Amino acid sequence: MTASETLDPLLTAQTWRESGRDVAVATVVETWGSAPRPSGSHLVIDGEGNFEGSVSGGCVEGAVITEALDVITSGVPKMLEFGVADETAWRVGLSCGGKIKVYVERLA
Amino acid sequence: MELQTLARLNAARQARKAAVVATDLSGGGVRLILEGESVPGPLGEEVAKAFRSGKATTVETDGRALFLNVHLPPPRIVVIGAVHISQALARLAPVAGYDLTIIDPRTAFATEERFGGVELVADWPEDVLKEQPLDAYTALAAVTHDPKIDDFPLSEGLRAGCFYVGALGSRKTHAKRVERLKEMGRTDEEIGRIAAPIGLDIGAASPAEIALATLAQIVQAFRRRNLVTDG
């Protein structure tokens, strides 16, 4: 694999799943305002919480990973929304002021 | 998404083929559409639009929200000829997000000193293109002026469906080239796709200006290409 391939989350997801690991794929499906990663960006997560790729500049990945573990267990996809609308949201929010929607599904 | 679908998507991406992944956001499954596949109805139009723009988008069909994620191979430029124009093009292309490879069998031209940091192959296009074939996400610019070097890759670029094929040379030079390409089996329609004289008409005079006009023409061809037949 070349350097760019080892950083390719979709190739990583395939390799992980083929070696028997549980995998969830998170995809940015909508952005408003200044969002660090465009629609279509991927973060892939395994059952142990290992991950590759990004859906933001590192701001909300932690929360997405937690939700992904849920999705892996239940098999039911989830739609997550992140913004900086209020104080609480700051903890898992986007410091850039944007808003994003992330779809998380299990790789069957 | 099924592992099998992901494996097909990854295979297409590694083969430099464009693909759209349509995900039903209400949990209704995932569909993989490869470039050239015909998709009927209004969805076909949306998919064609997504292929053209390269931008992911959500569309409504039959009351369902479908997320269309677009995977396009990174566009690249193959330049035949390690000439003065290519030196400028090699500096401009990365700024616009294009990978660039220069092929020229003439070792006096294809030197590290003239093209430091650029992917440069000092070999005949016939040999190089066997190893690195042209494809629909490649722009081919032939700028040596030498039929022995330019003709084969031009013919290959048309055959492989390069999104852009340009050739340097006056109208008179090009008229002779057209005759030779016909003898090589290219159709009038294929030959009509060649941008010659090369570059958008911005009155370019210096090698750097010709490189800029060529790059602009390549961007125009890429953004306006059509990859999916609406069925």
Mutate to test the interface with B, among A27, A44, A102 (most CBs of B within 10 A): A27
Q: Give tens-digit pLDDT for B100-145.
A: 999 999 999 999 999 999 999 999 999 999 998 999 889 999 999 9
Q: CB contact, 8 Å: B3 with chain A?
A: yes
Find tokens 């016909």 and name the residue. B182
pLDDT band at B231 (very low <50, low <70, confident <90, very high): very low
Collapsed DSSP state (helix, strand, coil) of residue A18: helix
Q: Could you tell me which chain B residue has the CA closest to the CA of A38?
A: B56
Give the per-residue pLDDT at A87. 46
- Determine contact, residues B202/B213, Cβ cutoff 8 Å: yes
Return the exposure string of B207-219: e unless at least 16 CB atoms fall within 10 Å of the residue's CB, then b. Answer: bbebbbbbbbbbb
Which residues of B fall within a CB distance of 8 Å from A79? 25
Q: Does residue B105 have a cis peptide bond before it, meaning omega lies within 30 degrees of 0?
A: no
Q: Residue A14 and residue B57: Cβ atoms within 8 Å?
A: no
Q: Residue B58 and residue A30: Cβ atoms within 8 Å?
A: yes
pLDDT in tens, chain A (108 residues): 443 455 789 999 999 999 999 999 999 999 988 777 889 999 999 999 999 999 987 778 899 999 999 999 999 999 999 885 444 444 555 666 678 999 999 999
Q: Residue B6 and residue A13: Cβ atoms within 8 Å?
A: yes
- Determine contact, residues A47/A65, Cβ cutoff 8 Å: no
Q: CB contact, 8 Å: B6 with chain A?
A: yes
Give the per-residue pLDDT at A95. 62
Q: Give tens-digit pLDDT for B38-77.
A: 898 889 999 999 998 888 999 998 788 999 999 988 789 9
Instruction: Write down all domains in chain B, each with its CATH number in brackets.
Output: 3-71 (no CATH), 76-223 (3.40.50.720)
Distance from C-alpha of B226 to C-alpha of B81, rounded to nearest angstrom: 28
Give the per-residue pLDDT at A94. 62
Quick one: average pLDDT of B185-198? Answer: 96
Q: Residue B55 and residue A108: Cβ atoms within 8 Å?
A: no
DSSP string, chain B: --HHHHHHHHHHHHTT--EEEEEETTS--EEEEETT--B-HHHHHHHHHHHHH---EEEEETTEEEEEEEE-PPPEEEEE--SHHHHHHHHHGGGGT-EEEEE-S-TTTS-TTTSTTSEEE-S-HHHHHHHS---TTEEEEE-S--HHHHHHHHHHHHHTT-SEEEE-S-HHHHHHHHHHHHHTT--HHHHHT-BSS-S-SS---SHHHHHHHHHHHHHHHHHT-----B-
Distance from C-alpha of A92 to C-alpha of A67, rounded to nearest angstrom: 12
- Determine contact, residues B39/B231, Cβ cutoff 8 Å: yes
Distance from C-alpha of A13 to C-alpha of B230, rounded to nearest angstrom: 32
Which residues of A fall within a CB distance of 8 Å from B50? none
Find tokens 């949201």 and name the residue. A89
β partners of residue A82: A100
Q: CB contact, 8 Å: B69 with chain A?
A: yes
Task: Compare CB distances from A14 to B7, B23, B69 and report the shortest one's residue.
Answer: B7
Q: Residue A14 and residue B3: Cβ atoms within 8 Å?
A: yes
**A to B CB pairs, distance under 8 Å:** 50
Percent of chain B with pLDDT over 90: 76
According to DSSP, residue A20 is labeled T
Quick one: average pLDDT of B161-169? Answer: 95
Q: In angstroms, what separates the C-alpha of B5 from chain A's closest C-alpha?
A: 10
Q: Residue A76 and residue B27: Cβ atoms within 8 Å?
A: yes
Find tokens 């790789």 and name the residue. A107
According to DSSP, residue A94 is labeled -
Give the per-residue pLDDT at A4. 45
Which residues of B fall within a CB distance of 8 Å from A107? 1-3, 6
Q: In angstroms, what separates the C-alpha of A45 from chain B's closest C-alpha?
A: 14
Collapsed DSSP state (helix, strand, coil) of residue A55: coil
Which among B59, B62, B90, B60 has a CA at the least distance from the CA of B77?
A: B90
Q: Which two tokens stand for residue B50?
A: 């997504």
Give the per-residue pLDDT at B228. 45
pLDDT band at B99 (very low <50, low <70, confident <90, very high): confident
